[in-house]
Amino acid sequence: NQDWDRLEPNGNRLGEACMDFHFGMLEITWGATPSVQLRIHDMTGRSRVRRTVRLSELKFPQD
């Protein structure tokens, strides 16, 4: 959680940049098609970025 003075380019950024103090949340839905909802909220609680990903889409590096 940081307050940024300037914005640096980031090819992995989804949605608008949130330069104010903020926090992230993950919500996992276990159902027929499990998914993870990723959210970034500003300090007023307003959702600034929201993305839902099916668990089947997530990939991790193989050792």
Indicate the pTM of the whole model: 0.67
For the chain, the domain total comes to 1
35 found inside a domain: yes
Round to whole Å and give the CA distance between 47 and 63.
36
Evaluate whether residue 19 is within a structural domain. no
Q: Tens digit of pLDDT for each residue in 7-41? A: 788 887 777 777 778 889 999 999 999 999 999 89
The answer to whether position 3 is within a domain reads: no
Q: Note whether residue 8 is domain-resident.
A: no
Q: Can you give the pLDDT at residue 4?
A: 67
Question: Would you place residue 63 in the very low, low, confident or very high pLDDT band (cuts 50, 70, 90)?
Answer: confident
pLDDT exceeds cutoff 70 at 1: no
Residue 50 maps to a domain: yes
User: Domain residues for 31?
Assistant: 26-56
| Structure-model confidence comparison of residues 1 and 4, the more confident one | 4
